[in-house]
A and B are shown apart, each in its own frame.
Chain A
Amino acid sequence: MRLQLPNPGLEDRILSHEELDKLETEEAGSGDRPKWDNKTQYMLTCVGFCVGLGNVWRFPYLCQSHGGGAFMIPFLILLVLEGVPLLHLEFAIGQRLRKGSLGVWSTIHPYLAGVGIASMFVSLMISLYYNTIMAWVMWYLFNSFQETLPWSQCPLNYNLTGLVSECEQSSPVDYFWYRETLNSTPDIGENGGLQWWMVLCLVSAWAVLYICIIRGIETTGKAVYVTSTLPYVVLSIFLIRGLTLKGSLSGVVFLFTPNLTELTNPTTWLDAGAQVFYSFSIAFGGLISFSSYNSVHNNCEQDAVIISAVNGFTSVYAATVIYTIIGFRATERFDNCLGGNILVLLNTFDLPEGNVTESNYDQVLQSLNGTHPEVIQGLNLKTCDLNTFLSEGVEGTGLAFIVFTEAITKMPASPVWSVLFFIMLFCLGLSSMFGNIEGVLVPLQDLGVFPKSWPKESTTGITCVLCCIVGLIFVQGSGNYWLSLFDSYGGSIPLLIIAFCEMVGVVYLYGIDRFNDDIEFMIGHKPNLFWQITWRFVSPAIMLVIFVFYFITKVTETLLYKTWNPESENFPTLEEKPYPAWIYVIIFILAGIPSLAVPGTALFRCLWRKRDRKSEQQELKTVKADIKGLWIVGSKLHIESILPSIGKHNT
């Protein structure tokens, strides 16, 4: 006996298979539902949505910090058990019900509309801050068209007597990022005002997004030919360049050296699961929308497998490329460190050049330590260890805007590499933004927020303008802190809840039997045992486990955030501060409102239906009374009309 929750009226809400086939043939040329021009556009759009900035700056860090090559094992296992089934589910349900995320969930059951609304909120929140990252990328891109990159040297101070002290204490790349880009305040409470150069970049980011989504997938489908393929071209160029640099191979070796003991650590599996989940952009609603524009008999199973494979491959490929460059940077730093020490030794002991080299440095140091220990002590030589430099692994914006930009300044022809790198980041982010915005626009249309008569250009335009205005929060002085807040809380917990509800909704409310039949109708064969087991038990279980652990970690951790404070003692190390009390309200709004939208809408609909039923019953009563009254009146009239004839006959 399959577990199936009662779902009355489902048949009335969905199109039957015959109707779908009819729609397919009729809608061949016209119809008001958009369609993909060809399969390539659809695949490129989905690949672009899934492959994003996380593949470039989150996966390499996780890989390196959780045992290198050994991390592939949990990553691949969870990719197969969690990522592929969820992807196939979203593709299939979108293709079958032919609606956006809100429409799909309300069709399956009216009480599930909350899932669609939660998806919309999450997509909206993520769109807001994601495009700010695009604005940062554009700022760096605009600044790359110079012979000497502005982050390669410290600017001079006001008197032209020396370098700016903030820059001298930290480094040119840090200074450019925290001061000249973000103009970061030391505290989230001080907002520092709008930074006009960032406002310009934000406007340009939203403008570029608008022109790509202006007519929906008609324009997006053309844009993805560039935005989804260019990153791979640039990654390959960087790979070739990186492999020719000194020290790149040590970086790659460091990345992939397996440390199997990490597999016993539960956080490794948790991080792998979270990475697979977030990397696939599930529960945003965008994938459901995209697959609903497909033809009914499109092979969604094949698509899901292909896209998962491409996503996994891209993560590994990007990690390799990033670590060739990081290996180069670490080797450069190591050489500088060692070179500095050697120079100090040569100068102190007046030894001729070439006496102390990298190979005999240790021996010479030891012998000198034997003969002149106090002198050596007084020199304060730095310890230079290549592994320390390699494991200065950073993730996120730190990787892209600090570590990688520093490495680029050390490569010959830096502006070229800088332009290529930031164009790649921009394309990666833009293609993800297409999916995010789709997850916002389609539910807004379904909810009827915009009148149907308005053209698509104006609805997308208004959405972009409003999002741009709200996104001004992130271009203030404290914008970086707000962004990490939104990222940690707005984009994490609600998605897990939504994905879990999606699986339960499709498998147990829509009915796995009906779903299997649908897939058989669409692609020609029933989904095999692997899909059955993963959809029904394995994937929901994994989602639940990840959600519980994530929730507990987030709730129990002390809320600290890292700030750039030139006045702190450990400057340039980022100072950790606790969040102020009113931030908790914001966190609740970010994480709580989408999560609570799911049960909230269900409750709301339930109460509305009860009210409707009550008024329905009352109406029924009055209707019955009316009918009775009419019948009485009618029968009276009938008698009266007969009576005269009776009377006539009588007389």
Chain B
Amino acid sequence: MRCLRMLVRILVLLYLAGAPALAQTLCQPNASNGYRVRISIKTALGNQAYEWNENEMFLFRATMAFAMRRYYKTETYNVDNIIVCNQTRRVSFWFVVISPENPTMLIPKADVEKAVSMSRHRINNAFLLTDRTLEFLGIYPTLAEPVNPDTPPWLIVFGVVIGAVFAGIIALLVSSLLQKRRKEKGMMEDGQDEEDRQMKGVENGINLDGIYNRGFTDDDRFTKL
């Protein structure tokens, strides 16, 4: 009985000591269920770049756990389920996700990809980075849906311009027509005035009152032949 208990204790101790080692063997470069992450902080933020250290790595693992929780809609995932290895000076590393129920089982690549794609925007924002500067090699960023307005904007501008131009043309044509009519009317009225003046006998602009003496009309314009 005591031997059995000691054996169990040794096994537990070995397990506790070996678990991280086991976990490390799970995470390897080019692991079948792992992804490589490449981070370019200086490219994204320039002067305001922060230092990549253990705390940032902790944030990364926490964000990945958040992504897994969101995808599976469960609350079982934790920071310990995200294992990171092979970090380089470039700031690139590999990570794998182990299942919370079974620490030896890795979450398949496809599921990890879907989880990352779903929360990509949140992951990027946690680090103030973009799709280009926080790369998951093998997971392509989803393309943004193009905004398709109902009427193309150019048609609206075209309508405004052509409406204004045609209105202007019609206005000019109408105004020149009115001008012409006014001119013709003016000429006709001038003609009428001339006739009236002759009949009323206006001399030097002074209206002579009186009866027109027909004795002085020249009706003998044509000589008798």
Q: Which residues of A contact B (CB under 8 A)?
A: 138-139, 141-143, 145-146, 155-156, 160, 162-163, 197, 200-201, 203-204, 207-208, 210-211, 214-215, 219, 343, 346-347, 350-354, 455, 457
B153 contacts A143, CB within 8 Å? Answer: yes
- Asked if B172 is at the interface (CB within 8 A of a chain A CB), the reply is yes
When distances are taken between beta carbons in the complex, the residues of chain A under 8 Å from B41 are 353
State the B residues within 8 Å of A (CB): 38, 40-43, 88-92, 143, 145-146, 153-158, 161-162, 165-166, 168-169, 172-173, 176, 180
Residue ID in chain B nearest A204 by CB atoms = B162
Q: How far is the CB of B137 from chain A (nearest CB, A)?
A: 10
Quick one: closest A residue to B144, CB to CB? Answer: A156
- How many angstroms between the C-alpha atoms of A201 and B159 in the bound complex? 11
Min Cβ gap B145→A in Å is 8
Majority-rule SS of B interface residues: helix
Partner of B91, one of A203, A352, A455: A352
List 9 A-B pairs, minimum CB-CB distance, nearest first: A142-B154, A353-B42, A350-B88, A352-B89, A350-B90, A142-B157, A143-B154, A207-B165, A146-B153
Partner of B168, one of A197, A211, A352: A211
Give every chain A residue within 8 A of B169 (Cβ-Cβ). Answer: 207, 210-211, 214
Closest to A339 in B: B43
Looking at the assembled complex, report how far the CB atom of A239 sits from the nearest CB atom of chain B, in whole angstroms: 27
- B202 → chain A, closest Cβ, in Å? 28
**Roughly how many angstroms separate A352 CA and B51 CA in the complex, as a whole number?**
12
Chain A residues whose CB sits within 8 angstroms of the CB of B162 once the complex forms: 200, 203-204, 207
- Which chain A positions have C-beta within 8 A of B153? 142-143, 145-146
Interchain CB contact under 8 A, B158 and A200: yes
For A146, list chain B residues within 8 Å (CB).
153-154
Known contacts A145-B157, A211-B168; 15 further A-B pairs (Cβ under 8 A):
A141-B157, A145-B153, A145-B154, A146-B154, A160-B145, A162-B143, A201-B158, A204-B162, A207-B165, A208-B165, A214-B172, A214-B173, A215-B172, A347-B92, A455-B180
Cα-based distance from A212 to B110 in the complex (angstroms)? 65
Contact of B158 among A163, A204, A351 (CB under 8 A): A204
Question: Given contacts A347-B90, A351-B89, A353-B41, is CB(A455)–CB(B172) below 8 Å?
Answer: no
Q: List 23 A-B contacts (CB under 8 A).
A: A138-B161, A139-B154, A141-B157, A142-B153, A143-B153, A145-B154, A146-B154, A155-B146, A200-B158, A204-B161, A204-B165, A207-B169, A208-B165, A214-B169, A343-B40, A346-B90, A350-B89, A352-B90, A352-B91, A353-B40, A455-B180, A457-B172, A457-B176
CA gap between A352 and B157 in the complex, in Å: 50
Contacts of A347 in B (CB 8 A): 38, 90, 92
Is the CB–CB distance between B176 and A455 below 8 Å? yes
Residue of A nearest to B92 (CB): A350
Question: Bound complex: CA of A455 vs CA of B178, how far in Å?
Answer: 13
B172 touches A211 (CB 8 A): yes
CA distance A216 to B157 in the complex (A): 28
Residues of A contacting B173 with CB < 8 Å?
214, 457
Residues of A within 8 A of B155 (CB): 142
Please give, as numbers and ranges, the residues of chain A lying within 8 Å of B172 by CB-CB distance. 211, 214-215, 219, 457
Complex Cα gap A347–B88 (Å): 10
A353–B42 Cα distance when bound, in Å, is 7
Q: Collect the chain A residues with CB atoms within 8 Å of residue B91's CB.
A: 352-353
Distance (Å) between the CB of A452 and the closest chain B CB?
15
Bound form: Cα–Cα A203–B162 in Å: 9
Q: In the complex, what's the smallest C-beta–C-beta distance from A195 to chain B, in angstroms?
A: 14
A351 to B88, CA, bound (A): 8
CA distance A405 to B160 in the complex (A): 24
Q: B21: shortest Cβ distance to chain A, in Å? A: 25
CB nearest neighbor in B for A456: B176
Q: Enumerate chain B residues within 8 angstroms of A204, measured Cβ to Cβ.
A: 158, 161-162, 165
How many Å from the CB of A366 to the closest CB on chain B?
A: 21
CA distance A142 to B155 in the complex (A): 7
**Across the two chains, which residue of chain B brings its CB closest to A348?**
B90
| Minimum CB–CB distance for A585 against chain B, Å | 37
Q: Which B residues lie within 8 Å of A143 (CB)?
A: 153-154
Closest to B171 in A: A211
Contact A156 B154 (CB under 8 A): no
Q: How many angstroms from the CA of A369 to the CA of B215 in the assembled complex?
A: 128
Q: Give the nearest-CB partner of B39 in chain A.
A: A353
Contacts of A219 in B (CB 8 A): 172
A351–B154 Cα distance when bound, in Å, is 48
Residues A211 and B146 in contact in the complex (CB < 8 Å), given A143-B154, A354-B42: no
**Distance, CA A143 to CA B158, complexed state (A):** 9
Residue of A nearest to B157 (CB): A142
Contacts of A208 in B (CB 8 A): 161, 165
Closest Cβ neighbor of B137 among chain A residues: A347
Complexed CA–CA distance, A317 and B62 (Å): 59
Alpha-carbon separation in the docked complex, A49 to B153 (Å): 32
A160:B143 contact, CB within 8 angstroms: yes
**Which residues of chain B come closer than 8 Å to A138, judged between CB atoms?**
161
In the complex, what residues of B have CB within 8 A of residue A354's CB? 42
The CA-CA distance from A219 to B165 in the complex, in Å, is 14
Contacts of B42 in A (CB 8 A): 353-354
Measured CB to CB, the nearest residue on chain A to B147 is A148
**Please, which residues of chain B bring their CB within 8 A of the CB of A457?**
172-173, 176
Residues of A contacting B158 with CB < 8 Å? 142, 200-201, 204
Set of chain B residues within 8 Å of A215, measured between Cβ atoms? 172, 176
Residue of B nearest to A155 (CB): B146
Given the known interface contacts A142-B154, A146-B153, the answer about A156 and B168 at a Cβ–Cβ threshold of 8 Å is no
Instruction: Please name all residues of chain B whose beta carbon is closer than 8 Å to the beta carbon of A155 when the two chains form the complex.
Output: 146
| Chain A residues with CB below 8 A from B166, complex form | 207
A353 and B146 contact, CB distance less than 8 A: no
| Interchain CA distance A5-B89 in the complex, whole Å | 90
- Bound state CA distance, A162 and B40, in angstroms? 25
CA distance A215 to B180 in the complex (A): 14
CA distance A325 to B92 in the complex (A): 38
- Closest Cβ neighbor of B90 among chain A residues: A350
Instruction: List, in ascending order, chain A residues with CB within 8 A of B89's CB.
Output: 350-352
Closest to A208 in B: B165
Task: Give Cα A457–Cα B154 distance, bound, in whole angstroms.
Answer: 30
